[in-house]
Amino acid sequence: MSDTTPSAPSAGTTSSAGQLFGETIMSGQHGGLGGQFDVPGDKSISHRSFILGGMAIGTTRVTGILEGDDVLATGRAMQALGADIERLPDNSWQITGVGTNGLVSPDAPLDLGNSGTGVRLLMGVVAGQPITATFCGDESLSKRPMARVTDPLEQMGAKVTSREGGRLPVTITGAETPLAADHTSKVASAQIKSAVLLAALNARGTSIIREPHASRDHTESMLRHFGASVRQAVQEDDTHHIELDGEVVLKAADIIVPRDPSSAAFPMVAALLTEGSDLHIPGIGMNPLRTGLITTLIEMGGDITISNERIEGGEAVADLHVRHSQLTGIDVPPERAASMIDEYPILAIAATQAHGETRMTGVAELRVKETDRIAVVADGIAACGGTVRYDEDSMTVTGAPVAGGVTIASQHDHRIAMSFLTLGMVSQNPITVTGCGTINTSFPRFAELMNGCGANLTAGTGA
């Protein structure tokens, strides 16, 4: 397919983790990470750039977009819904939108691959206008629960059919005139909140969403960037309320995508854990609802310097300087979970090298990600010789030398794969990880970039 479509790879990505190294990668000890590590663009903001650009009037130019499989699947879906999306020669993207009520029913099901963010946000888009779309995905995505998103969308007037348990494939027919939302979420989830907000763009009146505490707020910030009226407030009972005025006309607005803090987590932890490391990671998004891992690692004794703090494209950005450190286990407060939910797997890896115990509570959301990340992480660390206790809502990792010398099945979960490749850098024997092709969903060229800074990642047996 040509470079003018969202299926096109970014310049220089032909050596991505799955292509250069294959599905199986072996990770061993090295002499430390050094130099500059250029993390790809923020995944959350990249998804929303395609969606909101396609729902705005006019042409939006986006630079720094993450061209991973998940984001490109969202771009293709927005094309199928009627937006005009083109990749320009300078690697930026041009999106000509059709307005909040101008999308069309696609000719075929929207295949979101492995992207939970893409499918859930797009369900909100379709639910808010009089069109019909069927959503499908890969085997992993088809196992993930969708009812907690589709239930509030039905309350706003959408019609939904799905497999048992609300699982894909899901067909949604949007409401002719959506009802304003009045939704109280049991969990702080940016995906649930964002789906409701996107459906509410065409609703009459003001929609209200309540969360037990604040989840990442890229959707709110970007909606304001495109001209919507969105208000956020913390109530006396510490719950978080979001209000959106409906019948919105979004206007095109250029976007500079910051580098992804969730992707930065892997070279950052690798540098903290390996002797001799001295690594610069520039341009990282520092939205306070995304920096829980950085806060936690600093509390554990991590030598992380934050500098050159600035605002780019409406988002806080800074440069990180990370040096090898001896970490100490801590109790991670449960209210921090929403700001670092994707980073708990790599935090658990860091905790294996810390003195004492690291307790992580309030993390039940990990059980409904690409895999049951609590069980997969705990079982993987145990297989490598580490000690983990866990239940439905917590993990406790005891720091101690890890033997390694095993093969870990990532179960095609990109964050599991990168986490155990990081553990292999400090285990006594190399760790082999299978299912690494899925790393391309969020972090193209991961293995190549890690090796460029001094890591020892090689194609494993059977790659």
Catalytic (active-site) positions = 342
Nearest to 417 by CA among 383, 390, 391, 442: 442
Q: How many CA atoms within 13 Å lie on the side-chain side of 445?
A: 17
Q: How many residues does the chain have?
A: 463
- Cα distances from 78 to residues 66, 95, 133, 319, in angstroms, run 16, 10, 11, 33
Residue 424 CA, distance from chain mean position: 23
Q: Measured at the alpha carbon of residue 121, what is the angle toward residues 119 and 127, in degrees to the nearest 5?
A: 100
Q: How many CA atoms within 13 Å lie on the side-chain side of 262?
A: 24
How many other C-beta atoms can be found within 10 angstroms of the C-beta atom of residue 372?
15
Give the C-alpha separation, 192 to 157, whole Å: 16
- Cα distances from 129 to residues 103, 191, 253, in angstroms, run 8, 19, 22
CB within 8 Å of 141: residues ≥ 6 apart: 112, 113, 114, 115, 116, 119, 168, 370
Cα four-point dihedral sign 92, 95, 100, 106: negative
DSSP string of 123-182, one letter each residue? HHHHHTTT-EEEEE--TTGGGS--HHHHHHHHHTT-EEEEEGGGEEEEEEE--SSPPPPE
Q: Look at the block and give the residue holding tokens 């937006």.
A: 83
Please tell me what DSSP assigns to residue 8: P
Burial 308-317 (b: 16+ CB within 10 A, else e): eeeeebebbb
**DSSP H helix total and E strand total for the chain:** 13, 24
Query: 325 near 303, Cβ under 8 Å?
Result: yes
Cis previous bond, 169, omega within 30: yes
Give the C-alpha separation, 94 to 60, whole Å: 6
For strands 240-245 and 255-256, give the pairing: unpaired
Query: 436 near 410, Cβ under 8 Å?
Result: yes
- One-letter amino acid identity for 26? M
